[in-house]
Amino acid sequence: MLPSDFWSAVPARNSRGILERLKAGVVLGAEGYVFELERRGYIKAGPYVPEVVVDFPDALRELHREFLRAGAETMVALTYYAHREKLKDVGREKDLEAMNRQAVRIANEVAREGDALVAGDICNTWAYDPKNKEASSRVVRAMYEEQLSWAVDEGIDYVIAETNDYLGESLIALQVIKELGLPAMVTLASTRPHQTWDGYDYVDACKILADSGADIVGLNCDRGPATMLPIIEQVRSRVSGYIAAQPVPYKTDEAMPTFESLKTADGTNIFPIALEPFLCTRFEIADYARRAQALGVNYIGICCGGSPHYVRAMAEALGRTVAASRYSPAIELHPMIGAKIEEKAKEFLVDWKG
């Protein structure tokens, strides 16, 4: 049973769409559903198919709610990798429609509990092949049309097409979204140093997407704040429309710019299930949100590795008080390290070197 004032800090849902919100100021996003639900034991690492949607809907509902309470303004329907190619991998093609519909239904249910929009979600399909562009484009288009027809039927406010390795594939997504008459946020993966897998500089690719009618363009996934923001800064200087950044909360750097490239000191690859040593603190993520805002990023979010405490840290860094702020840290009340009991603090914080 929830306390009666559980949602008191969440205003009633208003009717503003994504574009109206962006016009009014920064929109806070939150993703990383697949990674978080994998850590919680509901999604298998490797195939990363969101089977949780149909197998454990309450687990998904709860994570949506946690992101909502943390200040996320969009509930992103968990249809990432819920497409034909991926469901084949785990032998669940027959669950395709149920998985897609249920994901959007759950996102709507929770969005209505607060002041959030619902985004339909499509992503790289692994079916696009620039060497066989015409035929593969038809396959990709059919997959997007199928997924989004279910999403539209269940009710969405806009669509996020994300982790696009190929500009070509992302343009198909954009076309399908625009044919449905919905606002489109299209963001690219950035697994390579400068270019998409079909050879477009990331900044140029964002410009092409914006010029082709994408309402919001940018990057998501792969890079941590330190290595994503420099590209985003260039995107900002080239694109006059709305831009988005959704990095992963890992400490990437020049030598290891993506989380796929992170290695331990002895050279062991740690992607994707031993990444914890590189996780950012909530303070580093708060700092990222402030820097993104200063750069003029309109949609500020987080991707794989994201979890509710990061989202609350971003919200508060942007000057917001959200439902989960009710339980934001009050370290001064900690019995040992709280400032009020200095003598105790000295006992607790032993000088291990001494």
Provide the minimum distance between the beta carbon of 223 and Zn ion in the complex, in angstroms, as a whole number.
Answer: 10
- Helices (H) then strands (E): counts for the chain: 13, 8
Provide the minimum distance between the beta carbon of 4 and Zn ion in the complex, in angstroms, as a whole number.
Answer: 36
DSSP one-letter code for 229: H
Provide the minimum distance between the beta carbon of 222 and Zn ion in the complex, in angstroms, as a whole number.
Answer: 7
The C-alpha atoms of residue 70 and residue 66 are separated, in whole angstroms, by: 6
Residue with smaller CB distance to Zn ion, 136 or 288: 288
**Which residues in the chain belong to E strands, given as ranges?**
27-28, 74-76, 117-123, 158-164, 184-188, 216-220, 242-246, 299-300
**Which residues in 8-157 belong to E strands, given as ranges?**
27-28, 74-76, 117-123
The DSSP annotation for 306-338 comes to --HHHHHHHHHHTT---GGGGG---GGG-TTTS
- Residue 303 makes contact with Zn ion by CB under 5 A: yes
Q: Given the structure tokens 């996003």, which residue do they identify? A: 29
The size of the chain, in residues, is: 354
Give the strands of the sheet with 117-123, arranged side by side: 27-28, 299-300, 242-246, 216-220, 184-188, 158-164, 117-123, 74-76
Nearest to 167 by CA among 220, 119, 222, 128: 128
Provide the minimum distance between the beta carbon of 292 and Zn ion in the complex, in angstroms, as a whole number.
Answer: 16
Residue with smaller CB distance to Zn ion, 231 or 304: 304
Residue with smaller CB distance to Zn ion, 217 or 221: 221
| Selected range binding Zn ion among 70-78, 275-283, 303-311, 328-336, rule: CB under 5 A | 303-311
Residue with smaller CB distance to Zn ion, 108 or 258: 258
Provide the minimum distance between the beta carbon of 221 and Zn ion in the complex, in angstroms, as a whole number.
Answer: 3
| Selected range binding Zn ion among 124-132, 252-260, 295-303, 312-320, rule: CB under 5 A | 295-303
Residue with smaller CB distance to Zn ion, 81 or 144: 81
Residue with smaller CB distance to Zn ion, 172 or 303: 303
| Selected range binding Zn ion among 21-29, 213-221, 268-276, 281-289, rule: CB under 5 A | 213-221
Provide the minimum distance between the beta carbon of 304 and Zn ion in the complex, in angstroms, as a whole number.
Answer: 3
Provide the minimum distance between the beta carbon of 76 and Zn ion in the complex, in angstroms, as a whole number.
Answer: 11
Residue with smaller CB distance to Zn ion, 216 or 303: 303
Among 304, 313, 315, 318, contact with Zn ion (rule: CB under 5 A): 304
The C-alpha atoms of residue 276 and residue 302 are separated, in whole angstroms, by: 16
Q: Which positions from 218 to 247 touch Zn ion by CB under 5 A, shown as an x/- string?
A: ---x--------------------------
Give the list of residues 6+ apart from residue 72 with CB closer than 8 angstroms, or none: 28, 29, 30, 116, 301, 311
Task: Assign 265 to helix, strand or coil.
Answer: coil
Beta strands 299-300 and 27-28, pairing class: parallel
| Selected range binding Zn ion among 150-158, 288-296, 304-312, 325-333, rule: CB under 5 A | 304-312
Give the list of residues 6+ apart from residue 3 with CB closer than 8 angstroms, or none: none
Provide the minimum distance between the beta carbon of 244 and Zn ion in the complex, in angstroms, as a whole number.
Answer: 13
Residue 160 has phi, psi (to 5 degrees) of -105, 120
Provide the minimum distance between the beta carbon of 303 and Zn ion in the complex, in angstroms, as a whole number.
Answer: 3
| Selected range binding Zn ion among 49-57, 87-95, 217-225, 266-274, rule: CB under 5 A | 217-225
Residue with smaller CB distance to Zn ion, 34 or 210: 34
Please report, as ranges, the residues that interact with Zn ion according to CB under 5 A. 221, 303-304
